[in-house]
Amino acid sequence: MRLDDDGDRANVEDRRGSRFGGTGLKLGLGGTVVVLALSYFLKTDLFALLGQSPSVETSLPDSPAQDERRTAEAELEKLAAASFNDAQKVWTAELGRRRAEYRPARLVLFWDEVRSGCGDAAAAMGPFYCPADERVYLDLGFYRELETRFGAPGQFAQAYVVAHEVGHHLQNVLGIEAEVRAAQRRRPAASNELSVRMELQADCMAGIWGRSTGDRRLLDPGDLESGLGAAAAVGDDRVQGATTGRVAPESFTHGTSAQRVRWFRAGFESGRLEDCDTFAEASP
């Protein structure tokens, strides 16, 4: 992939090296994940409503080990920032053609744990978008896990991850995210299904961005296959099988590997937002 990093970090926050001081309610990992998810859905920091915020984020001087870690991630950082900035440029232009305005998101790079507008999050949860503060959160170590644990190597695979999260921001800008959250509150039994449809739409949007890079001759042979491999790697069935040894379709929130590949490919082949309506089909 030939996507150049122009050095623009206007919408990038580097919080690597920040640490948390423990105050307030102690929820444990499971409780924190639940409250984080509810905060995400409701766009409210529920940690604050439970008493004190669970932690305070502070920046500390880099240690030699941190300097070494930052140096090792230099190329990953460049690709993450380049793909993030490029995806936002593509959607700014696309919405401009539709006489609409794209609101830029911000990319937050962190290590191990981070405080977001949706609450605290651990790197183990993977990259995520928080609509409450309109930021994409990424621990670059996820890229290594994507390659070694899930078998999805390559720069285009890494760029797909960022483009998918930018897709969630586009959903927020277009009002889709708010509509889905409202529907989930009205129909709790359909919450997982609606979540799957929203995730698959973000995959399709990532595919549209991927198509734009192909149109600009930024892709190398094998890049598309790399992106499709990443989409397959993060399917609910693949992730559940790898992490728990069993697959529970009733708990899917992101879609199967086949679904994610299908919708990423649909966006890549079409290049049209109109072809990303995952909510229109009886079965996405």
Q: Give pLDDT, residue 243.
A: 83
Residue 3 lies in a domain: no
The residue segments making up the domain with residue 68 are 12-276
Residue 282 lies in a domain: no
Residue 225 lies in a domain: yes
Q: Give pLDDT, residue 185.
A: 96
Overall domain count for the chain: 1
Residue 208 lies in a domain: yes
Q: Give pLDDT, residue 59.
A: 56
Per residue in 189-223, pLDDT (tens digit) is 999 999 999 999 999 999 999 999 999 999 999 99
Residue 141 lies in a domain: yes
Per residue in 73-117, pLDDT (tens digit) is 999 999 999 999 999 999 999 999 999 999 999 999 999 999 999
Q: Give pLDDT, residue 118.
A: 93
Residue 226 lies in a domain: yes
Q: Give pLDDT, residue 57.
A: 54
Residue 220 lies in a domain: yes
3-state secondary structure the chain: CCCCCCCCCCCEEECCCEEEEECCCCCHHHHHHHHHHHHHHHCCCHHHHCCCCCEEEEECCCCHHHHHHHHHCHHHHHHHHHHHHHHHHHHHHHHHHCCCCCCCCEEEECCCEEEECCEEEEHHHCCEEECCCCEEEECCHHHHHHHHCCCCCCHHHHHHHHHHHHHHHHHHHHCHHHHHHHHHHHCHHHHHHHHHHHHHHHHHHHHHHHHHHHHCCCCCCCHHHHHHHHHHHCCHHHHHHHHHCCCCHHHCCCCCHHHHHHHHHHHHHHCCHHHHCCCCCCCC
Residue 42 lies in a domain: yes
Residues of the chain with confidence (pLDDT) below 50: 21-35, 47-55
